[in-house]
Amino acid sequence: MLKTAVAIRHLAFEDLGCFGPVLERAGYKVHYYDAGVDELWTLDPLTTGLIVVLGGPIGAYEEEKYPFLTEELQLIERRLASGKPIFGVCLGAQLMARVLGAKVYPGPAKEIGFSELTLTDAGRRSCLNVFEGGPVLHWHGDRFDLPEGAEALASTEICPVQAFSYGANAFGAQFHPEAGGEGFERWLIGHTIELGAAGVDVPRLRADNEHWGPILKPRAEACLETWLRNLDA
């Protein structure tokens, strides 16, 4: 039986990355909904097999500037209430945290680049165990508190909640397990203003990705494969 996976995308180049082929191998037919462009009301949060909410440079609390966020938050709320699988990345995780009652707010500084996660005991038992002892890609300015009823899985010094689970079927990652590797130059071009304002050394970031991208790809694939395998059907 064909399964469907819908990725809600906020920027064209912040796509599923290396997660896409994993979903296809797992038997999912993947569709994208571009937030603010496609009509989210046509996406049924109760019948779609899997929903992935991707990243973006806007704030999870900026619905006055970006009214489509109101509808997106309502969709995520219905999805979480249903208990069906949902995976949030960066902005996606922030939106999930907000729906679950947690505060989302600007962090003390931008966290952009490759650095190591600190896993909790629960994180070491989770799909994130493949990332222990090595860096992952961070690219965010906002952060969020741990939602009530959620389990903290990872942190960094600047961001106390880097990943959380909410039951067996809801997972939020503040970092970007799906990104890096191929297509990374699009990130460097698309986020040039943010990178400049944050004082990020772009050639260094590019070189870090050339080194870590091939190493992180199989880890990211294993992370998603494990999460999918452990879903509560």
Please give the span between the terminal C-alpha atoms of the chain, in angstroms, as a whole number.
Answer: 14
Distance CA 52, CA 224 (A): 11
pLDDT of residue 1: 62
As a whole number of angstroms, the distance between CA 211 and CA 213 comes to 6
pLDDT of 179 reads 84
Per-residue tokens: 50: 């899997």
Asked whether the beta carbons of 11 and 179 are under 8 A apart, the reply is no
Going residue by residue through the chain, which has 233 residues, state the pLDDT in tens, using 9 for 90 and above: 679 999 999 999 999 999 999 999 999 999 999 999 999 999 999 999 999 999 999 999 999 999 999 999 999 999 999 999 999 999 999 999 999 999 999 999 999 999 999 999 999 999 999 999 999 999 999 999 999 999 999 999 999 999 999 999 999 999 999 987 789 999 999 999 999 999 999 999 999 999 999 999 999 999 999 999 999 86
Strand partners for 144: 104
The candidate with the shortest Cα–Cα distance to 205, out of 190, 178, 187, is 187
Query: What are the beta bridge partners of residue 164?
Result: 152, 172
User: Which CATH number applies to 3-229: 3.30.565.10, 3.40.190.10, 3.40.50.10680, 3.40.50.880?
Assistant: 3.40.50.880
Return the domain boundaries, the chain.
3-229
Sole residue written with tokens 């003390």: 108
- 118 SS3 class: strand
Q: How many residues in total does the chain contain?
A: 233
Whole-number pLDDT of residue 181: 74
Name residue 116's beta-bridge partners: 135
C-beta contacts of 74-83 below 8 A and 24+ residues apart? 75/40, 75/43, 75/45, 76/45, 78/45, 78/46, 79/45, 79/46, 79/51, 80/166, 80/170, 82/45, 82/46, 83/167, 83/169, 83/232
Instruction: Please report the pLDDT score of residue 82 as a whole number.
Output: 96
